[in-house]
């Protein structure tokens, strides 16, 4: 069902009379907008074709080893205007997506984004580079007749992680090809799964604009880890277990490559080709549908440093206990005299005069703010939006319960921290993404965007002792940091953005030979 600006989903099937009546919940669409620019000139790309590919509801941003799971679905299309601006006003909320842009001359860019909230507007800048092509071959030891998944991951600016990915399922032959690849460091990852074994292979590479890069054969390292997952107290019945593996680099920069697989409980599974270093494993027992958590068992997480081949690990899934955390739902109202929507409202929970939790929101509107997994206790609640703030004392959160709260005593913010984002030569940096954290706790407070003159401003609410600002340019290659230690009065700061050199393409430490 579709109403103007809303998406309807069948949430509940009829179970009794009157027959034929169902309940449809209308949810506001989300919106994606931004600019497609040339990486070399920062000029808008007129007529660039922009596409949104929706991710599946499950397993993102993980890589699934089963065709169809975690696959990209056809999404939305738009064409950039003469300045490179684009808008996609009908994006289904609650699902992550990959946004791509392609110019007529083949220049290409893509960006992966987290799920959007109903009614949210997300700005996604796209910097188009001349495309390249990456080709290669499967390992010679690839099990015959087994589909192979080859994933191309882009190493993010500064080498701190992976920002986007593309996949190819190889069911016939041994060659693969990725077209329209943006320049920069990449990681090719190979995965294949048989009934009792799982194989990995990794090739760091560098994509060069307007060229073909042949990575050759993907190697499988001769390292073995034997993994068994057993539900605690469960009878020895074979059931599906969803396992999320995070393969981490053994040294800086720390990067994580996630992959989701389906194993059989009580069955030892061979994992071959894992890199030496830290391995984080998260597992949960699937229900009959194979995707949701079993209601009787908690997920389990295990960290293990893989140093030698032939190691054995047994993970036990604990039975669920009574909930120890609570949830608070904050209803929002507009300040008196304010007609515009609330833009990026944020909520703070304070305990004993210290910041305990923060929940920054994206987009605009008066949708409730939900803070999950809150420790039980009595808190002071502070909400800020549109230059106003409000608070409520005595908000009690109980374990396993949902607490309803609202704030209505809005008043203007009196203290602000104002600053500038500048390049090394002193010129202002516009449209920089600025992440704001509490210095004492590291809690994320909000995201800001610098204006045309590089200016940013943060309203001061709550008892933060200091604030850390991290600014990034639209291209993601420039980064700068600044801190304001005292918030007793108005603070001023300057963030100097410096271009980072690309990190060497070594996302995963190669395993040592036996």
d(CA 178, CA 187): 12
Range from 204-218, 278-292, 341-355 carrying the lowest mean pLDDT = 278-292
- Could you tell me which residue, 507 or 189, shows the higher pLDDT? 189
Contact 177, 135 (CB under 8 A): yes
Contacts of residue 497, Cβ cutoff 8 Å, sequence gap at least 6: 421, 422, 423, 424, 429, 432, 471, 472, 473, 478, 479, 480
- Could you tell me which residue, 220 or 2, shows the higher pLDDT? 220
**Which residues partner with 136 through β-bridges?**
176
Contact 126, 99 (CB under 8 A): yes
**Which residues partner with 445 through β-bridges?**
none
Residue 292's pLDDT band (cuts 50, 70, 90) = low
pLDDT digits 0-9 by tens, 233-268: 766 677 888 888 887 654 444 456 777 788 888 899
Contact 358, 350 (CB under 8 A): no
| Both structure tokens of 50 | 């922009």
Pairing of strands 126-128, 212-217: unpaired
Contact 264, 240 (CB under 8 A): yes
Which of 107-111, 256-260, 338-342, 500-504 shows the highest mean pLDDT? 338-342
Distance of CA 260 to CAs 132, 146, 283, 483, Å?
Answer: 29, 17, 9, 38
Distance of CA 331 to the CA centre of its chain: 26
The residue with tokens 């077209």 is 179
The residue with tokens 């391995």 is 279
| Both structure tokens of 378 | 């009595």
Contact 95, 337 (CB under 8 A): no
Of 459, 391, 456, 410, nearest in space to 430 by CA? 456
pLDDT digits 0-9 by tens, 332-364: 888 888 888 888 889 999 988 788 888 887 667
Distance of CA 380 to the CA centre of its chain: 29
Amino acid 514: pLDDT: 36
d(CA 123, CA 128): 16
Amino acid 383: pLDDT: 92
Residue 6's pLDDT band (cuts 50, 70, 90) = low
Amino acid 61: pLDDT: 35
pLDDT digits 0-9 by tens, 301-333: 888 888 888 899 999 988 877 777 889 999 888
Residue 216's pLDDT band (cuts 50, 70, 90) = very high
Assess whether pLDDT exceeds 80 at residue 168: yes
Assess whether pLDDT exceeds 50 at residue 505: no
Contact 494, 420 (CB under 8 A): yes
pLDDT digits 0-9 by tens, 56-70: 433 333 344 443 333
Amino acid 203: pLDDT: 87
pLDDT digits 0-9 by tens, 117-161: 888 899 988 988 777 889 999 999 898 889 998 988 876 554 445
Distance of CA 25 to the CA centre of its chain: 26
Q: Average pLDDT of 98-115?
A: 82
Pairing of strands 121-123, 30-38: parallel
- Could you tell me which residue, 337 or 287, shows the higher pLDDT? 337
Assess whether pLDDT exceeds 80 at residue 21: no
Assess whether pLDDT exceeds 90 at residue 35: yes
Among residues of the chain, what percentage have pLDDT more than 90?
18
Amino acid 83: pLDDT: 92
Q: What SS3 string covers 255-315?
A: CEEEEEEEEECCCCEEEECCCCEEEEEEEEEECCCCCCECCCECCEEEEEEECCCCEEEEE
């Amino acid at each position: 069902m579709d109403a103007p600006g809303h998406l309807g989903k069948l949430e509940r099937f009829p179970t009794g009379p009157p027959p034929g009546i169902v309940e449809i919940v209308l949810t506001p669409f989300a919106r994606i907008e931004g600019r497609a620019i040339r990486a070399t000139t920062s000029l808008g790309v007129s007529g660039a074709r922009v596409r949104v590919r929706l991710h599946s509801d499950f397993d993102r941003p993980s890589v699934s080893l089963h065709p169809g799971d975690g696959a990209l679905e056809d999404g939305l299309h738009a064409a950039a205007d003469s300045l490179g601006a684009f808008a996609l006003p009908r994006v289904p909320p609650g699902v992550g997506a990959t946004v791509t842009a392609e110019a007529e001359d083949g220049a290409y860019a893509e960006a992966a984004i987290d799920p959007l909230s109903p009614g949210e507007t997300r700005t996604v800048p796209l910097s188009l580079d001349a495309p390249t092509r990456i080709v290669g071959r499967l390992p010679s030891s690839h099990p015959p007749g087994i589909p192979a998944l080859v994933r191309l991951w882009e190493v993010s600016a500064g080498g701190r992680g992976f920002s986007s990915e593309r996949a190819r399922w190889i069911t016939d032959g041994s060659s693969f090809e990725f077209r329209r690849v943006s320049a920069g460091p990449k990681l090719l990852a190979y995965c294949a799964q048989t009934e009792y074994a799982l194989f990995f292979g990794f090739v760091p590479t560098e994509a060069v604009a307007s060229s073909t890069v042949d990575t050759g054969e993907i190697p499988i390292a001769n390292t073995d880890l034997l993994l068994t997952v057993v539900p605690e107290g469960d009878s020895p019945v074979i059931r599906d277990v969803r396992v999320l593996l995070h393969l981490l680099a053994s040294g800086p920069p720390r990067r994580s490559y996630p992959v989701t697989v389906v194993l059989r409980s009580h069955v030892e599974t061979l994992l071959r080709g894992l890199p030496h270093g830290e391995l984080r494993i998260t597992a949960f027992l699937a229900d009959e549908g194979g995707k949701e958590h079993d209601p009787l068992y908690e997920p389990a997480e295990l960290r293990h440093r893989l140093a030698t081949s032939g190691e054995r690990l047994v993970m036990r899934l604990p039975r669920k206990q009574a909930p120890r955390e609570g949830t608070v739902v904050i209803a929002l109202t507009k300040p008196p005299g304010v007609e515009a929507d609330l833009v990026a409202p944020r909520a703070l929970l304070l305990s004993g005069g210290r910041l305990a939790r923060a929940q920054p929101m994206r987009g605009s509107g008066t949708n409730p703010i939900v803070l999950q997994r809150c420790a039980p206790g009595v808190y002071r609640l502070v909400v800020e939006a549109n230059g106003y703030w409000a608070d409520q004392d005595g908000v009690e959160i109980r374990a396993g319960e949902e607490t309803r709260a609202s704030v209505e005593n809005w008043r203007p913010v009196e203290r602000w921290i104002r600053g500038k984002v500048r390049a090394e030569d002193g010129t202002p940096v516009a449209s920089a993404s600025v992440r704001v954290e509490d210095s004492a706790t590291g809690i994320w407070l909000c995201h800001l965007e610098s204006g045309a003159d590089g200016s940013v401003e943060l309203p001061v609410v709550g008892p933060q002792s200091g604030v850390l600002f991290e600014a990034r340019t639209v291209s993601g290659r420039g980064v700068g940091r600044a801190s304001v230690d005292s918030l007793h009065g108005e603070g001023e700061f300057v963030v100097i953005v410096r271009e980072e050199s690309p990190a060497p393409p070594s996302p995963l430490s190669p395993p040592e030979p036996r």
